[in-house]
C-alpha cells in the first residue's frame, strides 16, 4: 500500500503502522517542518504514537498521510478542515469495505452450511418410498350386492 521510502524497506518485524520515527526524522521524510507536524497532531489530522515520556513516534503510514495532507493543501488548495473531513471519510470507507468483506465471508459460510444441511436432509430420504401424484378426485366405493 505505502512504499516505505527507506533504503532496504522497513526494519525486521516492523509494519506500516509501527511507530518508529522521531519528529525530526518524520519531518524530513514528509518534507514538512517539525512545527507543522505538531500543528497537524493538535488538529487531529495525523495522530502519531507516543512514547511513555510523551514523545511523538511516526509510522510509515503517518508519513504517507502527512505527504497526502501536504499534497491536498498545496496542489489541490483544500483547507485543513476539508482535509480532516476527507481523511475521516476515507477512514470510514475503509472501515465499511472491511465490514463488507467480513459480511460477505460470513454470508458465504452461511450459504455453504445451508447447502450442507439441505444435502443431509436429501440424503436422509427413504429410498423405498415412491412419490404419489396428488390429485383431487372423489372415489365412491359401492360394494356389489349378491
Residues 21 and 53 in one domain: yes
HSE value, Cβ hemisphere, 13 Å, CA-based, for 36: 14
Radius of gyration of the chain (CA): 33
In sequence order, the β-bridge partners of residue 58 are: 21
Task: Dig out the grid coordinates for 84 from the structure.
Answer: 480532516
For 9-50, the pLDDT digits (tens) are 677 788 888 999 999 999 999 999 999 999 999 999 999 999
Residue 27 included in any domain:
yes
Residue 4: the pLDDT is 52
Q: Which whole number is the average pLDDT over 128-134? A: 71
Residue 2: the pLDDT is 47
Residue 133 included in any domain:
no
Q: Look at the chain and report how many structural domains it folds into.
A: 2
Other beta carbons less than 10 A from residue 28's beta carbon: 13
Give the domain extent around 122: 79-127
Q: 77 φ, ψ to 5°? A: 70, 25
Residues 70 and 35 in one domain: yes
Task: Dig out the grid coordinates for 66 from the structure.
Answer: 502527512
CB 45 within 8 A of CB 69: yes
Which of 81, 73, 72, 18 has its CA nearest to residue 48? 18
Amino acid at each position: 500500500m505505502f512504499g516505505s521510502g527507506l533504503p532496504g524497506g522497513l526494519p525486521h518485524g516492523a509494519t506500516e503502522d509501527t511507530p518508529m520515527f522521531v519528529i525530526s526524522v518524520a519531518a524530513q521524510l514528509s518534507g514538512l517542518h517539525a512545527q507543522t507536524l505538531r500543528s497537524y497532531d493538535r488538529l487531529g489530522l495525523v495522530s502519531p504514537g507516543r512514547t511513555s515520556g510523551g514523545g511523538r513516534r511516526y509510522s510509515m503510514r503517518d508519513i504517507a498521510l502527512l505527504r497526502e495532507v501536504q499534497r491536498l493543501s498545496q496542489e489541490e488548495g483544500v483547507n485543513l478542515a476539508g482535509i480532516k473531513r476527507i481523511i475521516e471519510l476515507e477512514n470510514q470507507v475503509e472501515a465499511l469495505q472491511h465490514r463488507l468483506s467480513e459480511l460477505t465471508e460470513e454470508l458465504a459460510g452461511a450459504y455453504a452450511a445451508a447447502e450442507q444441511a439441505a444435502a443431509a436432509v436429501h440424503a436422509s430420504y427413504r429410498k423405498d418410498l415412491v412419490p404419489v401424484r396428488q390429485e383431487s378426485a372423489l372415489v365412491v366405493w359401492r360394494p356389489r350386492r349378491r
